[in-house]
Chain A
Protein backbone atom coordinates (compact mmCIF):
# COMPACT_ATOMS: atom_id res chain seq x y z
CA UNK A 1 0.00 0.00 0.00
CA UNK A 2 1.37 3.36 -0.95
CA UNK A 3 0.23 6.83 -0.19
CA UNK A 4 0.92 9.85 -2.26
CA UNK A 5 1.76 13.23 -0.80
CA UNK A 6 -1.83 14.35 -0.87
CA UNK A 7 -3.11 11.36 1.01
CA UNK A 8 -4.74 9.04 -1.48
CA UNK A 9 -3.80 5.45 -0.77
CA UNK A 10 -3.22 3.05 -3.59
CA UNK A 11 -2.10 -0.50 -4.17
CA UNK A 12 -0.27 0.10 -7.38
CA UNK A 13 -0.65 -2.49 -10.10
CA UNK A 14 -1.50 -5.32 -7.76
CA UNK A 15 -5.08 -4.23 -8.00
CA UNK A 16 -4.59 -2.74 -11.41
CA UNK A 17 -6.17 0.25 -9.89
CA UNK A 18 -3.96 3.18 -9.11
CA UNK A 19 -5.30 6.11 -7.25
CA UNK A 20 -3.28 9.28 -7.39
CA UNK A 21 -4.45 12.62 -6.15
CA UNK A 22 -4.33 15.18 -8.90
CA UNK A 23 -4.16 18.88 -8.41
CA UNK A 24 -6.32 20.08 -11.27
CA UNK A 25 -10.05 19.56 -11.07
CA UNK A 26 -11.96 18.15 -14.01
CA UNK A 27 -15.32 19.41 -15.12
CA UNK A 28 -17.79 16.65 -14.23
CA UNK A 29 -18.20 15.83 -10.57
CA UNK A 30 -19.51 12.34 -9.84
CA UNK A 31 -22.03 12.05 -7.06
CA UNK A 32 -21.81 8.70 -5.35
CA UNK A 33 -23.73 7.43 -2.41
CA UNK A 34 -22.58 5.96 0.87
CA UNK A 35 -23.14 2.22 0.72
CA UNK A 36 -23.49 1.83 4.48
CA UNK A 37 -26.39 4.29 4.58
CA UNK A 38 -28.28 3.58 1.40
CA UNK A 39 -27.58 0.12 0.03
CA UNK A 40 -28.84 -3.38 0.62
CA UNK A 41 -27.09 -6.24 -1.15
CA UNK A 42 -28.47 -9.47 -2.52
CA UNK A 43 -26.23 -12.51 -2.34
CA UNK A 44 -25.06 -12.09 -5.92
CA UNK A 45 -24.66 -8.34 -5.43
CA UNK A 46 -22.44 -8.87 -2.41
CA UNK A 47 -20.45 -11.45 -4.37
CA UNK A 48 -19.89 -8.94 -7.14
CA UNK A 49 -18.98 -6.15 -4.75
CA UNK A 50 -16.50 -8.20 -2.74
CA UNK A 51 -15.11 -10.79 -5.12
CA UNK A 52 -16.29 -13.59 -2.83
CA UNK A 53 -17.88 -16.67 -4.33
CA UNK A 54 -21.48 -17.53 -3.49
CA UNK A 55 -20.26 -20.67 -1.74
CA UNK A 56 -17.93 -18.63 0.46
CA UNK A 57 -20.69 -16.26 1.46
CA UNK A 58 -23.15 -19.09 2.14
CA UNK A 59 -20.60 -20.80 4.36
CA UNK A 60 -19.85 -17.56 6.19
CA UNK A 61 -23.56 -16.95 6.70
CA UNK A 62 -23.89 -20.45 8.15
CA UNK A 63 -21.16 -19.50 10.63
CA UNK A 64 -23.11 -16.40 11.65
CA UNK A 65 -20.62 -13.94 10.16
CA UNK A 66 -23.41 -11.71 8.82
CA UNK A 67 -26.06 -12.18 11.48
CA UNK A 68 -29.24 -14.12 10.91
CA UNK A 69 -30.33 -14.79 7.32
CA UNK A 70 -33.54 -16.76 6.92
CA UNK A 71 -34.99 -18.48 3.87
CA UNK A 72 -33.33 -19.40 0.61
CA UNK A 73 -30.03 -17.71 -0.23
CA UNK A 74 -31.70 -15.92 -3.15
CA UNK A 75 -33.94 -14.07 -0.67
CA UNK A 76 -31.14 -12.99 1.65
CA UNK A 77 -30.51 -9.28 2.05
CA UNK A 78 -27.29 -7.85 3.46
CA UNK A 79 -27.13 -4.39 4.98
CA UNK A 80 -24.66 -2.05 3.33
CA UNK A 81 -22.74 -1.85 6.59
CA UNK A 82 -21.72 -5.49 6.07
CA UNK A 83 -19.71 -4.66 2.96
CA UNK A 84 -16.60 -3.80 4.96
CA UNK A 85 -16.94 -6.99 7.02
CA UNK A 86 -17.33 -9.05 3.86
CA UNK A 87 -14.29 -7.43 2.27
CA UNK A 88 -12.17 -8.19 5.33
CA UNK A 89 -13.43 -11.79 5.25
CA UNK A 90 -12.42 -12.11 1.60
CA UNK A 91 -8.95 -10.75 2.29
CA UNK A 92 -8.38 -12.94 5.34
CA UNK A 93 -9.59 -16.06 3.53
CA UNK A 94 -7.44 -15.29 0.52
CA UNK A 95 -4.28 -14.13 2.27
CA UNK A 96 -4.20 -16.49 5.24
CA UNK A 97 -6.17 -19.50 3.99
CA UNK A 98 -8.62 -19.29 6.86
CA UNK A 99 -11.62 -21.63 6.80
CA UNK A 100 -15.18 -20.36 7.45
CA UNK A 101 -15.22 -21.01 11.19
CA UNK A 102 -11.82 -19.35 11.44
CA UNK A 103 -13.15 -16.34 9.54
CA UNK A 104 -16.06 -16.07 11.96
CA UNK A 105 -13.73 -16.25 14.94
CA UNK A 106 -11.26 -13.76 13.44
CA UNK A 107 -13.98 -11.22 12.66
CA UNK A 108 -15.47 -11.52 16.15
CA UNK A 109 -12.05 -11.03 17.70
CA UNK A 110 -11.34 -8.04 15.46
CA UNK A 111 -14.68 -6.54 16.55
CA UNK A 112 -13.72 -7.06 20.16
CA UNK A 113 -10.31 -5.48 19.64
CA UNK A 114 -11.95 -2.48 17.99
CA UNK A 115 -14.35 -2.14 20.91
CA UNK A 116 -11.51 -2.34 23.44
CA UNK A 117 -9.47 0.21 21.50
CA UNK A 118 -12.47 2.53 21.39
CA UNK A 119 -12.89 2.11 25.14
CA UNK A 120 -9.25 3.07 25.69
CA UNK A 121 -9.50 6.21 23.57
CA UNK A 122 -13.06 7.07 24.64
CA UNK A 123 -13.35 5.92 28.26
Chain B
Protein backbone atom coordinates (compact mmCIF):
# COMPACT_ATOMS: atom_id res chain seq x y z
CA UNK B 1 0.00 0.00 0.00
CA UNK B 2 1.23 3.49 -0.81
CA UNK B 3 0.94 6.38 1.59
CA UNK B 4 -1.27 9.23 0.37
CA UNK B 5 -0.15 12.69 1.42
CA UNK B 6 -3.50 14.44 1.47
CA UNK B 7 -1.95 17.77 2.35
CA UNK B 8 0.39 17.58 -0.62
CA UNK B 9 -2.48 16.61 -2.92
CA UNK B 10 -4.33 19.77 -1.88
CA UNK B 11 -1.12 21.85 -1.90
CA UNK B 12 -1.40 22.65 1.79
CA UNK B 13 0.83 22.69 4.83
CA UNK B 14 -0.09 20.47 7.76
CA UNK B 15 -1.23 23.41 9.84
CA UNK B 16 -3.82 24.54 7.27
CA UNK B 17 -7.09 25.77 8.69
CA UNK B 18 -10.35 24.02 7.87
CA UNK B 19 -11.34 27.08 5.88
CA UNK B 20 -8.06 26.90 3.97
CA UNK B 21 -8.66 23.22 3.23
CA UNK B 22 -12.09 23.96 1.84
CA UNK B 23 -10.78 26.83 -0.25
CA UNK B 24 -7.91 24.78 -1.68
CA UNK B 25 -10.24 21.91 -2.53
CA UNK B 26 -12.75 24.15 -4.27
CA UNK B 27 -10.03 25.86 -6.27
CA UNK B 28 -8.40 22.62 -7.40
CA UNK B 29 -11.73 20.88 -7.99
CA UNK B 30 -12.68 23.61 -10.45
CA UNK B 31 -9.30 23.29 -12.15
CA UNK B 32 -9.33 19.52 -12.51
CA UNK B 33 -13.03 18.84 -12.94
CA UNK B 34 -13.19 16.32 -15.80
CA UNK B 35 -15.84 18.35 -17.60
CA UNK B 36 -13.65 21.43 -17.49
CA UNK B 37 -10.08 20.22 -17.79
CA UNK B 38 -8.64 18.62 -20.89
CA UNK B 39 -5.63 17.27 -19.04
CA UNK B 40 -5.25 13.56 -19.56
CA UNK B 41 -5.05 12.87 -15.82
CA UNK B 42 -7.85 15.23 -14.80
CA UNK B 43 -10.21 12.44 -13.80
CA UNK B 44 -7.58 10.81 -11.64
CA UNK B 45 -6.55 14.12 -10.06
CA UNK B 46 -10.18 14.97 -9.35
CA UNK B 47 -10.64 11.64 -7.63
CA UNK B 48 -7.51 12.21 -5.51
CA UNK B 49 -8.75 15.65 -4.52
CA UNK B 50 -12.09 14.20 -3.48
CA UNK B 51 -10.38 11.56 -1.36
CA UNK B 52 -8.05 14.09 0.28
CA UNK B 53 -10.90 16.47 0.99
CA UNK B 54 -13.10 13.72 2.40
CA UNK B 55 -10.45 13.06 5.04
CA UNK B 56 -9.19 16.56 5.78
CA UNK B 57 -12.54 18.33 5.93
CA UNK B 58 -13.63 15.95 8.66
CA UNK B 59 -11.91 17.02 11.88
CA UNK B 60 -12.04 13.50 13.31
CA UNK B 61 -10.63 11.81 10.26
CA UNK B 62 -8.05 14.55 9.92
CA UNK B 63 -6.92 14.16 13.54
CA UNK B 64 -6.57 10.41 13.10
CA UNK B 65 -4.69 10.89 9.84
CA UNK B 66 -2.38 13.46 11.42
CA UNK B 67 -1.62 11.07 14.22
CA UNK B 68 0.34 8.86 11.86
CA UNK B 69 2.92 11.62 11.70
CA UNK B 70 4.41 13.88 9.09
CA UNK B 71 7.43 11.70 8.31
CA UNK B 72 5.60 9.90 5.51
CA UNK B 73 5.76 10.95 1.88
CA UNK B 74 3.36 10.56 -1.00
CA UNK B 75 3.78 7.15 -2.64
CA UNK B 76 5.91 5.69 0.15
CA UNK B 77 5.26 2.06 1.12
CA UNK B 78 3.01 2.14 4.14
CA UNK B 79 1.22 -0.05 6.65
CA UNK B 80 -0.95 1.57 9.33
CA UNK B 81 0.51 1.01 12.78
CA UNK B 82 -1.50 -1.34 14.99
CA UNK B 83 -4.27 0.38 16.94
CA UNK B 84 -3.44 3.59 15.12
CA UNK B 85 -6.93 4.93 15.69
CA UNK B 86 -7.10 4.06 19.38
CA UNK B 87 -8.30 6.70 21.81
CA UNK B 88 -10.11 8.71 19.19
CA UNK B 89 -13.68 9.57 19.83
CA UNK B 90 -15.97 9.33 16.87
CA UNK B 91 -19.54 10.26 16.64
CA UNK B 92 -22.40 9.30 14.41
CA UNK B 93 -23.42 6.13 12.75
CA UNK B 94 -21.64 5.01 9.68
CA UNK B 95 -23.12 4.09 6.43
CA UNK B 96 -20.14 4.00 4.24
CA UNK B 97 -20.65 6.37 1.39
CA UNK B 98 -20.93 4.63 -1.91
CA UNK B 99 -19.33 7.68 -3.42
CA UNK B 100 -16.09 6.69 -1.68
CA UNK B 101 -16.05 3.27 -3.22
CA UNK B 102 -13.22 3.91 -5.66
CA UNK B 103 -10.91 5.73 -3.31
CA UNK B 104 -7.38 4.38 -2.83
CA UNK B 105 -6.33 1.28 -0.89
CA UNK B 106 -4.82 3.68 1.61
CA UNK B 107 -8.19 5.30 2.28
CA UNK B 108 -9.83 1.90 2.32
CA UNK B 109 -7.37 0.60 4.94
CA UNK B 110 -7.78 3.60 7.22
CA UNK B 111 -11.35 4.69 6.80
CA UNK B 112 -13.05 1.80 5.04
CA UNK B 113 -13.32 -1.84 6.01
CA UNK B 114 -14.20 -2.45 9.64
CA UNK B 115 -14.31 1.27 10.32
CA UNK B 116 -17.11 1.50 7.85
CA UNK B 117 -19.40 -0.50 10.04
CA UNK B 118 -19.24 1.44 13.19
CA UNK B 119 -16.87 4.27 13.80
CA UNK B 120 -16.62 6.86 11.13
CA UNK B 121 -19.29 9.32 10.38
CA UNK B 122 -20.80 9.17 6.97
CA UNK B 123 -19.08 11.33 4.42
CA UNK B 124 -21.49 13.82 3.02
CA UNK B 125 -20.41 13.08 -0.51
CA UNK B 126 -19.89 16.69 -1.44
CA UNK B 127 -16.55 15.84 -2.97
CA UNK B 128 -17.94 13.17 -5.19
CA UNK B 129 -20.45 13.00 -7.88
CA UNK B 130 -24.01 12.25 -7.01
CA UNK B 131 -24.06 10.08 -10.02
CA UNK B 132 -27.34 8.69 -11.08
CA UNK B 133 -26.09 5.16 -11.24
CA UNK B 134 -24.29 5.60 -7.94
CA UNK B 135 -27.56 6.35 -6.20
CA UNK B 136 -29.16 3.24 -7.52
CA UNK B 137 -28.89 1.07 -4.45
CA UNK B 138 -30.46 3.66 -2.20
CA UNK B 139 -33.23 4.21 -4.68
CA UNK B 140 -33.79 0.50 -4.85
CA UNK B 141 -34.03 0.33 -1.10
CA UNK B 142 -36.61 3.08 -1.13
CA UNK B 143 -38.54 1.32 -3.80
CA UNK B 144 -38.30 -2.01 -2.02
CA UNK B 145 -39.40 -0.73 1.33
CA UNK B 146 -42.11 1.68 0.36
CA UNK B 147 -43.32 1.88 -3.15
CA UNK B 148 -46.50 0.05 -4.05
CA UNK B 149 -47.17 1.65 -7.42
CA UNK B 150 -45.21 0.73 -10.55
CA UNK B 151 -41.84 2.43 -10.60
CA UNK B 152 -39.55 2.55 -13.61
CA UNK B 153 -35.97 1.42 -13.18
CA UNK B 154 -33.14 3.90 -13.02
CA UNK B 155 -31.36 4.92 -16.20
CA UNK B 156 -27.70 3.98 -16.08
CA UNK B 157 -24.67 5.52 -17.72
CA UNK B 158 -21.32 4.18 -18.80
CA UNK B 159 -18.58 5.40 -21.11
CA UNK B 160 -17.04 3.54 -23.98
CA UNK B 161 -14.08 4.51 -26.14
CA UNK B 162 -14.05 3.54 -29.79
CA UNK B 163 -11.56 4.03 -32.59
CA UNK B 164 -12.12 6.35 -35.53
CA UNK B 165 -12.22 3.27 -37.73
CA UNK B 166 -15.22 2.06 -35.70
CA UNK B 167 -16.99 5.37 -36.32
CA UNK B 168 -16.49 4.86 -40.07
CA UNK B 169 -17.41 1.21 -40.24
CA UNK B 170 -19.47 0.48 -37.13
CA UNK B 171 -18.32 -2.06 -34.55
CA UNK B 172 -19.37 -4.56 -31.95
CA UNK B 173 -18.25 -4.25 -28.36
CA UNK B 174 -18.67 -6.78 -25.58
CA UNK B 175 -18.96 -4.99 -22.26
CA UNK B 176 -19.38 -6.28 -18.75
CA UNK B 177 -21.51 -4.30 -16.31
CA UNK B 178 -21.94 -4.63 -12.60
CA UNK B 179 -25.16 -3.25 -11.21
CA UNK B 180 -26.58 -3.30 -7.70
CA UNK B 181 -29.65 -5.41 -7.16
CA UNK B 182 -31.81 -6.14 -4.13
CA UNK B 183 -32.46 -9.68 -3.02
CA UNK B 184 -35.82 -10.63 -1.46
CA UNK B 185 -34.40 -9.90 1.99
CA UNK B 186 -33.57 -6.37 0.91
CA UNK B 187 -29.80 -6.82 0.74
CA UNK B 188 -27.84 -5.11 -1.99
CA UNK B 189 -25.46 -7.17 -4.05
CA UNK B 190 -23.64 -6.62 -7.31
CA UNK B 191 -24.83 -8.52 -10.34
CA UNK B 192 -22.54 -8.94 -13.31
CA UNK B 193 -23.82 -9.18 -16.81
CA UNK B 194 -22.29 -9.05 -20.22
CA UNK B 195 -23.71 -7.18 -23.16
CA UNK B 196 -22.76 -7.46 -26.78
CA UNK B 197 -23.39 -4.01 -28.19
CA UNK B 198 -23.48 -2.85 -31.77
CA UNK B 199 -21.93 0.59 -32.30
CA UNK B 200 -23.65 2.11 -35.34
CA UNK B 201 -21.66 3.41 -38.26
CA UNK B 202 -21.41 7.19 -38.14
CA UNK B 203 -21.24 7.48 -34.35
CA UNK B 204 -19.48 10.63 -33.20
CA UNK B 205 -17.61 11.53 -30.05
CA UNK B 206 -19.86 12.83 -27.27
CA UNK B 207 -22.94 11.06 -28.55
CA UNK B 208 -24.93 8.64 -26.42
CA UNK B 209 -26.00 5.18 -27.46
CA UNK B 210 -29.25 4.33 -25.72
CA UNK B 211 -29.98 0.71 -24.97
CA UNK B 212 -33.62 0.46 -23.99
CA UNK B 213 -34.44 -1.66 -20.97
CA UNK B 214 -30.79 -2.30 -20.06
CA UNK B 215 -30.73 0.03 -17.05
CA UNK B 216 -32.02 -0.53 -13.53
CA UNK B 217 -34.77 -2.97 -12.70
CA UNK B 218 -38.31 -1.59 -12.52
CA UNK B 219 -40.57 -2.33 -9.56
CA UNK B 220 -44.23 -3.15 -9.33
CA UNK B 221 -44.37 -3.91 -13.04
CA UNK B 222 -42.58 -0.65 -13.78
CA UNK B 223 -40.51 -0.69 -16.93
CA UNK B 224 -36.77 -1.29 -16.90
CA UNK B 225 -34.50 1.72 -17.06
CA UNK B 226 -32.29 2.46 -20.05
CA UNK B 227 -28.54 2.22 -20.37
CA UNK B 228 -26.75 5.17 -21.97
CA UNK B 229 -23.28 4.56 -23.35
CA UNK B 230 -21.40 7.81 -23.83
CA UNK B 231 -19.16 7.43 -26.85
CA UNK B 232 -15.61 8.75 -26.86
CA UNK B 233 -13.28 8.61 -29.83
CA UNK B 234 -9.77 7.54 -29.04
CA UNK B 235 -7.16 10.06 -30.22
CA UNK B 236 -5.73 8.94 -33.53
CA UNK B 237 -2.02 9.31 -34.33
CA UNK B 238 -2.79 10.49 -37.87
CA UNK B 239 -6.28 11.97 -37.97
CA UNK B 240 -7.96 14.80 -36.08
CA UNK B 241 -11.71 14.83 -35.73
CA UNK B 242 -14.16 17.71 -35.40
CA UNK B 243 -17.75 16.52 -35.45
CA UNK B 244 -18.01 14.49 -38.64
CA UNK B 245 -15.04 16.22 -40.30
CA UNK B 246 -11.65 14.56 -40.30
CA UNK B 247 -8.30 16.30 -40.88
CA UNK B 248 -4.82 15.06 -41.59
CA UNK B 249 -1.46 16.45 -42.61
CA UNK B 250 -0.11 15.14 -45.91
CA UNK B 251 3.65 15.23 -46.52
CA UNK B 252 4.46 16.37 -50.06
CA UNK B 253 7.69 17.14 -51.89
CA UNK B 254 8.31 20.75 -53.00
CA UNK B 255 7.98 19.74 -56.67
CA UNK B 256 4.66 17.99 -55.96
CA UNK B 257 3.32 21.20 -54.42
CA UNK B 258 4.75 23.34 -57.23
CA UNK B 259 3.95 21.17 -60.23
CA UNK B 260 0.97 19.20 -59.00
CA UNK B 261 0.77 15.46 -58.38
CA UNK B 262 -1.51 12.53 -57.75
CA UNK B 263 -1.12 11.12 -54.26
CA UNK B 264 -2.79 8.41 -52.22
CA UNK B 265 -4.52 9.75 -49.11
CA UNK B 266 -5.01 7.24 -46.28
CA UNK B 267 -8.45 7.24 -44.71
CA UNK B 268 -9.75 5.40 -41.65
CA UNK B 269 -11.71 3.11 -43.95
CA UNK B 270 -9.14 2.69 -46.73
CA UNK B 271 -7.55 5.22 -49.05
CA UNK B 272 -8.42 7.53 -51.90
CA UNK B 273 -6.50 9.07 -54.78
CA UNK B 274 -6.22 12.85 -54.67
CA UNK B 275 -4.88 15.32 -57.20
CA UNK B 276 -2.73 18.11 -55.84
CA UNK B 277 -3.19 21.10 -58.14
CA UNK B 278 -0.08 22.94 -59.37
CA UNK B 279 1.08 26.00 -57.48
CA UNK B 280 0.19 24.91 -53.95
CA UNK B 281 1.92 26.42 -50.96
CA UNK B 282 2.66 24.76 -47.64
CA UNK B 283 -0.35 24.67 -45.32
CA UNK B 284 -2.92 24.67 -48.11
CA UNK B 285 -6.03 22.69 -47.19
CA UNK B 286 -7.74 20.51 -49.74
CA UNK B 287 -11.19 19.11 -49.11
CA UNK B 288 -12.36 15.61 -49.93
CA UNK B 289 -16.11 16.12 -49.84
CA UNK B 290 -18.19 13.50 -48.10
CA UNK B 291 -15.19 11.36 -47.14
CA UNK B 292 -15.45 12.10 -43.41
CA UNK B 293 -17.45 10.20 -40.81
CA UNK B 294 -20.57 8.77 -42.46
CA UNK B 295 -23.90 10.45 -41.78
CA UNK B 296 -26.58 12.52 -43.37
CA UNK B 297 -24.81 14.55 -44.54
CA UNK B 298 -21.44 12.83 -44.19
CA UNK B 299 -18.44 14.80 -42.98
CA UNK B 300 -15.54 15.95 -45.12
CA UNK B 301 -11.86 15.14 -45.00
CA UNK B 302 -9.45 18.07 -44.95
CA UNK B 303 -5.94 17.39 -46.19
CA UNK B 304 -3.33 19.97 -45.17
CA UNK B 305 -0.23 19.96 -47.37
CA UNK B 306 2.98 19.75 -45.40
CA UNK B 307 5.91 20.44 -47.69
CA UNK B 308 8.87 18.28 -46.73
CA UNK B 309 12.32 19.31 -47.97
CA UNK B 310 14.75 16.66 -49.18
CA UNK B 311 17.95 16.79 -47.11
CA UNK B 312 21.12 18.37 -48.51
CA UNK B 313 23.24 15.49 -47.31
CA UNK B 314 25.33 14.68 -50.39
CA UNK B 315 27.37 16.59 -52.97
CA UNK B 316 24.76 15.83 -55.56
CA UNK B 317 21.92 17.07 -53.36
CA UNK B 318 23.78 20.23 -52.41
CA UNK B 319 24.56 20.89 -56.08
CA UNK B 320 20.89 20.52 -56.92
CA UNK B 321 19.87 22.98 -54.20
CA UNK B 322 22.52 25.38 -55.49
CA UNK B 323 21.20 25.12 -59.03
CA UNK B 324 17.76 25.94 -57.69
CA UNK B 325 19.16 28.99 -55.92
CA UNK B 326 20.71 30.18 -59.16
CA UNK B 327 17.62 29.37 -61.21
CA UNK B 328 15.20 31.34 -59.02
CA UNK B 329 15.30 34.99 -58.33
CA UNK B 330 13.62 34.22 -55.04
CA UNK B 331 13.74 36.16 -51.79
CA UNK B 332 11.64 34.41 -49.11
CA UNK B 333 11.88 37.53 -46.94
CA UNK B 334 10.90 40.03 -49.62
CA UNK B 335 7.87 41.19 -47.59
CA UNK B 336 9.19 40.24 -44.22
CA UNK B 337 10.77 43.56 -43.20
CA UNK B 338 8.09 45.89 -44.51
Interface residues of chain A, those whose CB is within 8 Å of chain B, are 1, 3, 7-37, 39, 48-51, 80, 83-84, 87-88, 90-92, 94-97, 106, 110, 117-118, 121-122
Majority secondary structure, B binding face: mixed
B203 interfacial contact with A, CB 8 Å: yes
Q: CA A51 – CA B33 in complex, angstroms?
A: 19
- Check B211 against A32 for contact (C-beta < 8 Å): yes
Question: Which of these, B127, B196, B214, B228, contacts A35 with CB under 8 Å?
Answer: B228
Given A25-B174, A30-B214: A16 touches B133 (CB 8 Å cut-off):
yes
Q: Which 5 pairs of residues, A with B, have the shortest CB-CB distance?
A: A51-B132, A1-B43, A13-B101, A12-B102, A35-B208
Smallest beta-carbon distance B186→chain A, Å:
17
Q: List 8 A-B contacts (CB under 8 A).
A: A7-B162, A8-B160, A8-B175, A17-B158, A22-B176, A50-B132, A83-B208, A84-B208
A94 to B156, CA, bound (A): 17
- Which B residues touch A92, using CB under 8 A? 33, 35-36
User: Which secondary structure dominates where chain A touches chain B?
Assistant: mixed
Contact status B152-A48, CB under 8 Å: yes
Q: Which of the 9-residue segments B57-65, B177-185, B328-336 touches chain A?
A: B177-185
**Closest A residue, CB atoms, query B240:** A121
Residues of B contacting A91 in the complex (Cβ-Cβ under 8 angstroms): 33-35, 129
Q: Do B98 and A14 touch across chains, with their CB atoms under 8 A apart?
A: yes
Q: Which chain A positions have C-beta within 8 A of B137?
A: 16
Q: Does B95 contact A (CB under 8 A)?
A: no
B278 interface contact, C-beta 8 A:
no
Q: Does B74 contact A (CB under 8 A)?
A: no
Bound-state CA distance A32–B172 (Å) is 11
Q: Which residues of A contact B178 (CB under 8 A)?
A: 13, 16-18
**Could you say which residues of chain B place their CB within 8 Å of the CB of A20?**
175-176
A110-B160 Cα distance, complex, nearest whole Å = 22
Binary contact track B107-133/A, C-beta < 8 Å → 1, others 0: 000000000000000000011111111
Query: How many residues in B have their beta carbons less than 8 Å from beta carbons of A?
Result: 79
> Considering the chains assembled together, what is the distance between the CA atoms of A9 and B232 in angstroms?
9
Q: Which residues of B contact A (CB under 8 A)?
A: 26, 29-30, 33-36, 38, 43-44, 46-47, 98-102, 126-137, 152, 154-163, 172-180, 190, 194-198, 200, 202-204, 206-212, 214, 225-226, 228-230, 232, 234, 240, 242, 245, 247, 302
Q: A17-B177, A35-B228, A48-B152 are in contact. Are A22 and B26 (CB under 8 A)?
A: no
| Chain A residues within an 8 Å CB radius of B30 | 96
Distance in angstroms from A65 CB to nearest chain B CB is 14
CA distance A90 to B33 in the complex (A): 13
Which chain B positions have C-beta within 8 A of A83? Answer: 208, 228
Q: Is the CB of B131 within 8 A of A11?
A: yes
Q: Residues of A contacting B132 with CB < 8 Å? A: 50-51, 90
The reply to whether A7 and B196 form a contact with Cβ atoms under 8 Å apart is no
User: Is the CB–CB distance between B130 and A1 below 8 Å?
Assistant: no
Closest to B197 in A: A30
Contacts of A94 in B (CB 8 A): 129-131
Contacts known (A30-B198, A33-B209, A34-B207); A17 close to B302, Cβ less than 8 A: no
Q: Residue B177 contacts which of A9, A18, A51 (CB distance < 8 angstroms)?
A: A18
- Given A14-B101, A20-B175, A26-B194, does the pair A35, B210 have CB atoms closer than 8 Å? yes
- A29 and B196: CB pair below 8 A? yes
